[in-house]
Amino acid sequence: MTLYLTAAPDRLAQARAATAQLAHAAYRIGPGSQLLAAPLPAALRGGLMVVSDRQAPAVEQPEPLARQLVRVCLRRGFSGIVLDLEELPEGRWAEDRAALIRQLAPLLTAYGRRLYVPEIYAAASPETVVLLCTALSGGSLQGRLEEACAAYGAQRLALDLERLMMDFPLPCPSGEGVRLSREELSIRMQGRSVFYAEDLCARYFTYRRGGQTHFVLFDDAGTLKRKMEMGQVLGIREGFVMLPEVEDLTGFLFTGEG
């Protein structure tokens, strides 16, 4: 599986030390449907272009923005564009973002480039690669992958290998836990027995605080590798991890060491 390391420009040197397969999180959608960019080295070529819509206004002019994105992609020699689009509440998509995808996908396809979109936007265009998040807190990852392959085809999927580190108070009717930093996870884990949840392909432990039981679910290098292997067996050829989320795991993920 081709594994891309997503990194902002201020972590470019660190990312380059780990792998040549980079996704550059240097771009975002700004006011007036303009593309804004953080500085990248003038000579930088190759990899993928990551574009965020975080706190972006509505895209009122999707066609000019799509053409601007393609121009930058071609000038930098990027092999594709990853649209890092935030999901609306209740799992809905934003129609203006979908309109941008519909403009952008055929343009990139015509130039032999790929467009990666979150699964919520999969129906916006069949000319996209669907990013499938592997960080599950319930159900079966194997089943999830198989269902996605049946729905989209393995060749149209890439794994979003978000590193799961979450604390769930029990009971937890909402299913929403509290995200942990690596430091917080390490503190909570001290002296605990850690187990493996095969269906979720993640590790877990429990602890008590203030009379309440907590269930902590997390990924490590081994579980992320296992998720990649599960996807690869099904024919999924690409995956993404991110800095600084996996900065302590890059040796294992990209070289097999560690």
DSSP for residue 172: -
Q: Average of pLDDT values for 68-75? A: 97
* Residue 86: per-residue pLDDT: 86
How confident is the model at residue 154, as a pLDDT?
A: 97
Alpha helices in 21-84 (DSSP H): 62-75
Tokens 């429990």 sit on residue: 206
Average pLDDT over residues 22-31: 96
Helices (H), 84-168: 95-110, 141-152
Check residue 257 and give its pLDDT: 41
The predicted model gives 110-126 an average pLDDT of 96
Task: Give dist(CA 214, CA 236) in Å, integer.
Answer: 34
Tokens of 258: 């560690």
Q: Distance between CA atoms of 225 and 134, rounded to whole angstroms? A: 12
B/e letters for 123-154, b = 16+ CB within 10 Å, e = fewer, are ebbebbbbbbebbbbeeebeebbeebbeebeb
User: What pLDDT, on the 0 to 100 scale, is given for residue 90?
Assistant: 64
pLDDT band at residue 137, thresholds of 50, 70 and 90?
confident
Can you give the pLDDT at residue 96? 93
The pLDDT tens digits of the residues spanning 143-154 come to 999 999 999 999
Q: Which CATH number, 3.40.50, 3.30.420, 3.10.50, 3.30.70, labels domain 165-218?
A: 3.10.50
- 216 forms bridges with which residues in the sheet? 167, 205
Is the Cβ–Cβ distance between 7 and 25 less than 8 Å?
A: yes
**How far is residue 122's CA from residue 87's CA, in Å, rounded to a whole number?**
12
> Which residue intervals of the chain bear CATH 3.20.20.80?
2-163+220-255
- Residue 206's beta-bridge partner residues? 215
Residue 71: φ, ψ to 5°? -60, -45
Phi, psi for residue 55 in degrees, rounded to 5: 60, 20
Q: Which amino acid is at 128?
A: T
Average pLDDT (94-105) is 95
Which one is predicted more confidently, 210 or 128?
A: 128
Look at residue 217 and tell me whether its pLDDT is greater than 60.
yes
Task: Report which secondary-structure segment, H or E, holds 225.
Answer: helix 221-233
pLDDT for the residue 258: 36
Give the separation between CA 254 and CA 153, rounded to whole angstroms.
Answer: 26
**Can you say whether residue 154 is alpha, beta or left, with left for phi > 0 and alpha for psi between -120 and 50 degrees?**
alpha
Quickly name the fold that domain 2-163+220-255 has.
TIM Barrel (3.20.20)
Whether residue 106 has a cis bond before it, omega within 30° of 0: no
